[in-house]
Amino acid sequence: MKDALPEPYWLTQAGAPAPAEPLNGPTTADLAVVGAGYSGLWTALIAKERDPSLDVVVVEAGTAGWAASGRNGGFCAASLTHGFDNGVARFPDEMPQLLRLGRENLDEIASTVDRYKIDCDFRRTGELHVATEEWQWRDLVAGCAAEAALGLDVELLDRDSVRAEVDSPTYLGAVWDRTGCAMVDPARLAWGLREACLSLGVRIYENTKVERISSARAGLFLQTWRGGVSARRVVLATGAHGRLLKRLQQFVVPVYDYALMTEPLSSSQLAAIGWRNRQGIGDSANQFHYYRLTADNRILWGGYDAVYFNGGRITPAQDQREATFEVLADHFAATFPQLDGLRFTHKWGGVIDCCSRFSAFFGTAHGGRLAYAAGYTGLGVGATRFGAKVMLDLLGGRPTELTSLKMVRAKPVPFPPEPVRSGVIQLTRWSIARADRHQGRRNLWLRTLDAMGLGFDS
């Protein structure tokens, strides 16, 4: 572990594009997008596809995909609601529609990857939700029946069947969601979307932070260090890093999620665990692990700890957290004892834009000339494309199927301000960990939050 490189594995791969020139001077645009993660890149791409004559500019503080979009687990899920159960709990009447829209979204991501020949190892493997304790198995059995009733392509696997797929002595059973999730190389997806945008004539300025957004006569003005953009319309796609619109801060808290990457498995190591169908895997505790194979048969192993640093601080130093890496390594060893001796080559963390309902929220500001989406809470790889369409529809000003959704119209319950916020979140984290140690039983605090529609997750 000590020798592991303190960098997101995906972003260290060959093929990173050379950064675009920063903005130097004034410019204009029909649409200016702030942020070049998936959210911003999808918005720019879809805007150009819808109207090739539109002059679209993307302004990015770092380089495209450097943040969450280039360092995540690469689970590209159809779910728009941070999973089925969360969707049913919050938007029960809309679930059939949200499930359909999510499936269409995933299909459209697949066809975009094909259309632009994006080399991002996109594979529709599905996902195994595994149970490692009896209470999780009971929940999975009940959840699988509810998912099947709403038409999801799910299969319940008992202990022997799941271990025939992937062999861990910790597994008691699983639900295989066969078509609701694809695995993707996240950085290559971001780089490919960036390239697709450029190919359609989008102008991208990197290493250009937007300092301020203000109203101007013909629209809005984005102030940058050595220039500025006068734009008719603006999309704010700044994820957990956004500080440009004050009202978002009551809804979003930055939460750190951490991951390890192993060296490539030899064929005998791979044979020892099976995994021929290469599904993404998530376990079913409140503090869950997610893991998957890479194209060259490494295992990415992440999750479990979701860390909020008091005061909502975001600093590069917090991308490294040895205590979490040690815990993750211990859990990996318990899950795959057959792989004893396998080395970790990379360790990293990143920030997630957590909101209290765990699924994105949307809105407009500056008299409808700016649209935003935030709050993807750890499941934004696929859902950001849906969010991009919502933002463009909101800017269009006419009601559409998407802007009529309750999920789009309603906001999450806000978090309290600091320092109460830190206290509430740390108590919640403690309670969640306790529930996992006590057969999933939720204490009074968690039950109260559940009743209020408030939560904390990754």
Ligand X SMILES: Cc1cc2nc3c(=O)[nH]c(=O)nc-3n(C[C@H](O)[C@H](O)[C@H](O)COP(=O)(O)OP(=O)(O)OC[C@H]3O[C@@H](n4cnc5c(N)ncnc54)[C@H](O)[C@@H]3O)c2cc1C
Interaction site with ligand X (CB under 6 A)? 34-40, 59-62, 66-69, 71-75, 77, 209-210, 237-242, 244, 257, 259, 290, 302, 350-352, 376, 378-382, 384
Place of tokens 């996992």: 436
Q: Which is nearer to ligand X, 234 or 402 (CB)?
A: 234
Residue nearest to ligand X (CB): 380
Nearer to ligand X, 137 or 186 (CB): 186
Minimum gap (Å) between residue 261 Cβ and ligand X: 11
Q: From CA 269, how far away is CA 342, in angstroms rounded?
A: 9
Nearer to ligand X, 269 or 335 (CB): 335
Q: Pairing state of beta strands 25-34 and 56-59? A: parallel
At 221, phi and psi to the nearest 5? Answer: -120, 125
Closest distance between ligand X and the C-beta of residue 342, in Å? 20
- Choose between 34 and 446: whose C-beta lies nearer to ligand X: 34
Task: Give the integer Cα–Cα distance in Å for 164 and 155.
Answer: 14
Work out how close the CB of 76 gets to ligand X at its nearest, in angstroms, rounded to a whole number.
6
Min CB(189)–ligand X separation in Å? 10
Residue whose CB is less far from ligand X, 176 or 290: 290
Q: What share of the chain is helix, strand, coil (3-state, %, to 5)?
A: 35, 25, 40
Q: Which helix (H) or strand (E) holds 203?
A: strand 203-205
Sign of torsion over alpha carbons 343, 346, 351, 353: negative
C-beta of 355: minimal distance to ligand X in Å? 11
Neighbouring C-beta atoms of residue 23, cutoff 10 Å: 25
Q: Please compute, for residue 341, the number of CA atoms within 13 A of its CA located in the half-sphere on the CB side.
A: 4
Closer residue to ligand X (CB): 363 or 380: 380
Euclidean distance between CA atoms 106 and 127, whole angstroms: 14
Shortest distance, position 244 Cβ to ligand X, whole Å: 5
DSSP string, 7-64: S-GGGGSTTPPPPPPPP-EEEEEEEEEE--SHHHHHHHHHHHHH-TTS-EEEE-SS-T
Name which of 180 and 378 has its Cβ closer to ligand X: 378
Whole-number minimum distance, CB 236 to ligand X, in Å?
9
Whole-number minimum distance, CB 282 to ligand X, in Å? 9
Q: Of 236 and 446, which CB lies nearer to ligand X in the complex structure?
A: 236
Residues 6+ apart with CB under 8 A from 14: none
